[in-house]
Structure 1
């Protein structure tokens, strides 16, 4: 008697990082899922380079799971993510995973764990955290800072989630479509905006302990990069709420958040100086820049973070 299988898809967007993509694909084809799951892998390439195609073809020959490659010619992370959703919705797949090309699952049970918890919690969305690991010569202060300490526990309900470790049910993507807003094409924060739209649509989201690892390259481990990231995140936060909330609500909420970020930033900077802790001090600077960015978002200011490709 044949088993009726449920199709699920793991989506990856990539751009000029063939070695990292190769590492991820090698990890994904080792994932262990139950016999009633048919796992597929979807790669959307935002550069269309031959080296990326070669990597996909090389891994596909060794994989028991189907790997499908598509080239998205419109430059920008939003266009690549939406292409993933578009290709997913053409299939009978019921669940879509997102994982970044600079990551890889900590466990070969990663996909199954997210699926199991989705069923257990009757969830529309399941997410988990990211553990940063340093590339060669990446300073420890930057590795400690990028994601900080994970304070979520198993089964926590969450309102904010990102596409770096995510499982979405098909009905979410059928209803919230297009999923990712083109106004965030090169700026980042499209996944925060997507989470906000999901929340307003009434979908639930839960955390489970199924981390992925991310290589943090030395090229990002600078104070300047963190300051730009803080500024950009603040802008993206405000723009997201401007697009989804009333102006009055957004003004009061973002002004309050900017004040909180400002006070916390000052506190962390002072603590970092007292303790001679660079991670804490730069965290404070990050929060100060986020506070400034939160206000800057009201004035149409943008920072195009994804013009520069880090990694290999």
Structure 2
């Protein structure tokens, strides 16, 4: 017991001497340095990241957003900022995964962040010349964006500019049917109907007679044999350059849904899955139908007209 008491007394003496030495090093009137300035919280880092982004200092904004993510890996806006910063630095391969991660983290209340992620992926894929993927992301953006939307941190990101980028993307990979639909649906233009009426090159054909040809597959392993329709298509007479198919019906007034058609060609594919009664197709193998469609007598002339319209929207 005495040994323990002696040990405690010795330890207290050492501590007291240490405190006296520290006190002796400080003179009356000395100021103690206390850190000042804002604490680098995640919110502060993101705020500074956007300030640098708007100033065009993308190197600093990258550093700020990266630091924010290192501080909190679930802070969604930091991924948005880093994604846009990498996009501006032309690091498209680095930007897209950040937008994808943000979309993974997003909840129902994060619709604004989702839209900006789609916009970021649109520009990133466009920068990589992946026009089909760029158009897909632009469609996702336009589906939820207001017509007058402007990104608060970058006024180049607007609904109008994304529409133009969508048009450009479809044109680049020669999806002219989607170019038509983009102008009609996103630019709210009735030019196509007017063009059909006023341009002698275009014609609106109603009730031309044709037939649906089917390709079938027979399963002989069951009894009776099971016949499945693989595809169903209509081949119009030569000379028709399809621009739009407006209706298909048979003599019993059954309507058929178009799955796709060859733009500028003469082949129409029927959506087989939407056919409720396939028996007539299987019985006749060449079901007669009436087809309504719009076509161009000179497809090259039509594309020139379409290009002029697209250029007029820029």
- The structure number with the bigger radius of gyration is 2
The TM-score normalised by the length of structure 2 is: 0.27
The TM-score normalised by the length of structure 1 is: 0.27
**Relative contact order: is structure 1 or structure 2 higher (C-alpha 8 Å, sep ≥ 6)?**
1
